[in-house]
Structure 1
């Protein structure tokens, strides 16, 4: 990799890190279509390489969210531990699938989530209780499903968890994004290890992306806490549609 290529990838990592902090996803969701479209990587290689950036970015973003809006660690552990085993199952399945069909499945997944988030913009806001609407052990069910998707798609778990936490459990958008990062932290690490074991990671490409993300993700977290919740939710839905459109170019 030349110096120019390293710098360009670092700049890309800066942009991805900012988006990852803003939406609580570590930057991987936009990195996957970017790697597929800009670098021509197949779906598994794009997901594995994106995880090189996602793993450290998720950990840093999680800490930044906790600093600004204290995360209840009992809730975080319930999500994280339940997602871990199912992430292993999803990642093991992902490395055996056809790359084109897997990409199409990811596109459909993003479109469904985006439509769901858009529909919530026009629904009546739900009243929020001080805590969770349901007892915290129910979070393990969410963690299991999100962990399976996270292992399968590399970053799908955190994207699924955020709307479920706001709609079903009654959390605010920023609390949901912080808890989604807690869910993603261990599952993304084991998913990266699984992809690496099957040679689905480009470490040289992923390293500058990771560095750029670490330098910029705090900006996105700060912006997320400054924006009105309705606007943040609308931006999140638009972001999902953009990622789906970019991925569809490679289907």
Structure 2
């Protein structure tokens, strides 16, 4: 009886965490995995690779639903999105194979550095977008989207998250996508195939805790639409400032 109660309590905790991460992931257009990994590694005591692989169980369905929700609200061109997605899948698969073989402590340190490195990248993207405002239409040709997808997939495979985070500043700051929410939707197009490829690779290496990941995924699916709706109501400057603050706090927690 006690075992059943303990198992039920664990499922409830995982489900509630998934609900919270789904809202956060919807707001920032990231699927929630960026914050699931520190929670699983520091809060649940999972090794870095196992935390990343388990987070992917939630990330994959969340980014699929998140992309669909962003597409409902934004004119996302599927041609450029498809080019990004295919290229991201290739590089995500390759770097995920490398990540599962890395020393867990080294991968954890690299993940913390990645979180902190995102802050200046996001600030740069915002400033770059302001200077390029009104300088012509967005440049979403395959010559740009292919390399950007490959770049995104590297982070999706190595850290199982973050591909969309590095592409969004490039889309707004270099490729002239004017709206933050549109850029986040395009980024999810690259993240989704890359996340599927990464999950396949981590699962094949035995680095996925399905018993924890499935209730996380269910909770996230039920709440990510709320986060997407909230993202479209908040000022873009607020979204960026909030996200940078959360990145720094998360990195500090993992340290």
TM-score, L = length of structure 2: 0.92
- Structure-2 residue corresponding to 1:99: 104
Q: 1:163 to 1:64 in 2, by over 3 A?
A: same
- The aligned runs of 1:193-232 (5 Å cut-off) are 193-232=200-239
User: Which of 198, 203, 209 is the equivalent residue of 1:191?
Assistant: 198
Does the alignment pair 1:37 with 2:48?
no
Query: What is the CA-CA distance between 1:191 and the residue it aligns to?
Result: 0.4
Cα distance in 2 between the residues matched to 1:86 and 1:119:
25
Cα distance in 1 between the residues matched to 2:232 and 2:51:
30
Indicate the SS of the match to 2:130. Answer: coil
> CA offsets, 1:21-77, max 9 Å, x none?
111110000000010111101110000000000000000000000011121101211
- The aligned runs of 1:1-251 (5 Å cut-off) are 2-118=7-123, 125-126=130-131, 127-128=133-134, 131-133=137-139, 135-171=141-177, 172-248=179-255
Cα distance in 1 between the residues matched to 2:241 and 2:174:
18
TM-score, L = length of structure 1: 0.94
Cα distance in 2 between the residues matched to 1:60 and 1:232:
20
Cα distance in 2 between the residues matched to 1:238 and 1:14:
21
Query: What is the CA-CA distance between 1:224 and the residue it aligns to?
Result: 0.6
Q: 1:119 to 1:180 in 2, by over 3 A?
A: closer
Structure 1 residue ranges, 4+ long, deviating more than 3 angstroms after superposition: 118-124, 128-131, 133-136
The 8 Å contact of residues 117 and 234 in structure 1, kept in 2 or not, is answered as no
Structure 2 residue runs of 5 or longer lacking an equivalent are 1-5
